[in-house]
Amino acid sequence: MDEFLRLKPLYQDRVWGGRALETALGRTLPPERPIGESWEIVDRPEAQSVVVGGTYDGLTLREVLQRHSAAVMGPRWPADKPFPILVKWLDCRERLSLQVHPPAAVAASLGGEPKTENWFIAAAEPGAHLIVGLRPGVTQEKFERAIAEGKLEECVNRFPVAAGDSVLVRSGQVHAIDGGNLILEIQQNSDTTYRVHDWGRVGLDGKPRQLHVAESLRSILWDEPPPVEVKAKGKFGVLAYAREFQICRVFVAAGKTMDFVAGEGPCILSVVAGRLTSACGELKRGDNVLIPYSGNFVPTVAEDALVLLTFGFDGEDPHRGLSHIKEAENCRPEDLAATWIEQQLQENGENWAIQRVMQLCGLCSDPELVWPIILRLVELSSDDRLLGDVAAGPLEDLLCGHGALFIERVEAQAKRDRKFRRCLSGVWGWSSMSESMQARIRKAAGEEKL
């Protein structure tokens, strides 16, 4: 299947909403209503996304999965199982209620569903903040006293945000979104929210909205530390690593292509900047599409694009393709390089270091992290066989994916290190490089040959 699933947005009135989806994303909204949410991908009894265009045009997401679950989600996905992710745009003109979603351990007893969610800040007005988690030392007793005294802001962790920032909010963490934020929310498929406090606001009907204090107190994880937000420092990186899903931020320059290969699992592609084109149509800022398990989808980047890729939600091993990442992330570059060499020499056995280095070279990570590892790999390689493995592996991956960022450092290293020149001569992935890049690599390698 060489296509993606484009789905029709479902717009939701919210007392705290506005019209930013119209101005920022170029959407046509229902007139004269405060639109707080756009449900982009949803498979729930009360709300169904409908496919627009392509093979499944006019079918709801539920109908697609009932008829084609293997093609969309993979061969082991039950046809009657709902799609596990809900994607929303949030236009927060005013502060949302202070709320919590029940963790899995208590959700069923409360008749609700757990909801871990990630917020990507697409735009933020000056002074915009988020509230996630409790301040250190806040106990349930202190929190209940603050409810009674109207001093809840003294108990919660409030911090400023800017466009490009991201934060993972786990089930059981109390939270709120301040006004002035335009957010892409990627979450578990759940609509269970318990309001602790609503700041004295009334709903669209002019009446105070219902609070769920007892349920909230049972749901809040009192010993859970506040999350560490991912600041907008770079163009590549892992934004969220949860058991329910993983999210990567990827920058792709104009003229490049992205390659989604069939059989690697379903993926949600969210365009937060730029424009992509393909035989199936154009994708622009604000678009969220589902790339099926069976999809061979190769879009071209028409304008420099920043996209989010959400994966790992198909019920398979959450560490698939990212094996031992938890352990590997804590491994120093020199230790990771040494383990890579050891595993490369083994006929069979563990390969987590090899996979971790491969992941660092890919589009879904920060390539700066792999450069010192490559230098150490060259230093530790005891023969041409290992140098060839480095050349055809991490060095080639780095140059094919991020050559423009690294070619000057590659040239400088080649001038002072003959061993590095020999390694560079083993790079052969020319089809993914421009002719000028190929020429510079060949010149840097000089007369050295593996």
Could you give the count of Cα atoms lying within 13 Å of 283 in the half-sphere of its Cβ? 32
For the question of residue 195 being annotated catalytic, the response is: yes
Q: Catalytic residue among 6, 170, 195, 421, which?
A: 195
The catalytic residues are 195
